[in-house]
């Protein structure tokens, strides 16, 4: 073999190696780009799933808040009407002797009954008190008296002002006297 042939073979081998090297690096570059694209896709899917879960949580939270608003919508009105209810009950407690007073008392009774019915319809009800066990969540003790055999300790013996609740929320605690 001549020098010229050897040189041509060497050049051919170098070209083959160069083609192999460039093809190999293209494949590696394609693989890293593919891996990067798959990682990006995985990251985007994760972000999408998290955003979707957050939207579902927000939707549930807003739904619960709307339900609470509907359930307790009459809370403020109820609180404002309670003093009027107390005044009507005080008016009913007055004894009358004449026919005109009895007629007036009958009218007050009708107004009181319709107001109580409207409050009950909205879910506002009186807190049970007389003879009940004192519950600081529902009752406010303004005075105590000594307990006896007839009245055990922590029993409500007198109601000074009625308490009311709307479903499970206390609008106004009952003011009571408790045996201790």
User: How many CA atoms are closer than 13 Å to the CA of 108, on its beta-carbon side?
Assistant: 18
Together in a domain, 28 and 7:
yes
Contacts 24+ apart (CB under 8 A), 125-133: 125/164, 125/165, 126/162, 126/163, 126/164, 127/162, 127/163, 127/164, 127/165, 127/170, 127/173, 127/174, 129/156, 129/159, 129/162, 129/163, 129/174, 129/176, 130/156, 130/158, 130/159, 131/155, 131/156, 132/156
What's the distance, CA 38 to chain centroid? 41
Domain count across the chain: 2
- Structural domain including 105 reads 75-179
Of 66, 69, 71, 67, residue with least CA distance to 124: 71
**pLDDT score at 71:** 87
Pairing outcome for strands 156-161 and 174-179: antiparallel
Q: Which of 42, 71, 100 is the endpoint of a domain?
A: 71
67 and 79 together in one domain:
no
**In tens digits, what is the pLDDT along the chain, a chain of 180 residues?**
555 556 556 655 655 555 455 444 567 787 788 899 999 999 999 999 999 999 999 999 999 999 988 888 889 999 999 999 999 999 999 999 999 999 999 999 999 999 999 999 999 999 999 889 999 999 999 999 998 888 888 999 999 999 999 998 999 999 999 998
Q: In what order do the strands lie in the sheet with 139-145?
A: 139-145, 174-179, 156-161
Neighbours of 157 (CB within 10 A): 19
Of 48, 71, 94, the residue that ends a domain is 71
pTM: 0.66
Co-location of 94 and 151 in the same domain: yes
Residues 158 and 79 in one domain: yes
The CA distance from 55 to 136, in Å, is 40
């Amino acid at each position: 073999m001549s020098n010229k042939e050897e040189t041509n073979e060497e050049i051919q081998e170098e070209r083959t190696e160069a083609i192999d090297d460039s093809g190999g690096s293209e494949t590696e570059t394609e693989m890293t780009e593919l891996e990067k694209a798959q990682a990006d896709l995985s990251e985007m899917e994760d972000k999408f799933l998290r955003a979707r879960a957050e939207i579902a949580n927000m939707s549930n939270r807003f739904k619960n808040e709307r339900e609470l608003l509907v359930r307790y919508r009459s809370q403020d009105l109820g609180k404002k009407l309670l003093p009027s209810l107390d005044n009507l009950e005080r008016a009913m407690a007055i004894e009358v002797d004449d026919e005109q007073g009895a007629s007036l008392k009958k009218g007050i009774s009708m107004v009181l009954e319709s107001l109580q019915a409207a409050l009950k319809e909205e879910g506002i009800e009186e807190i049970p008190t007389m003879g009940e066990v004192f519950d600081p969540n529902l009752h406010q003790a303004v005075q105590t008296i000594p307990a006896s055999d007839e009245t055990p300790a922590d029993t409500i013996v007198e109601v000074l002002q009625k308490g009311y609740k709307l479903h499970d929320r206390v609008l106004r605690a009952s003011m009571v006297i408790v045996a201790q």
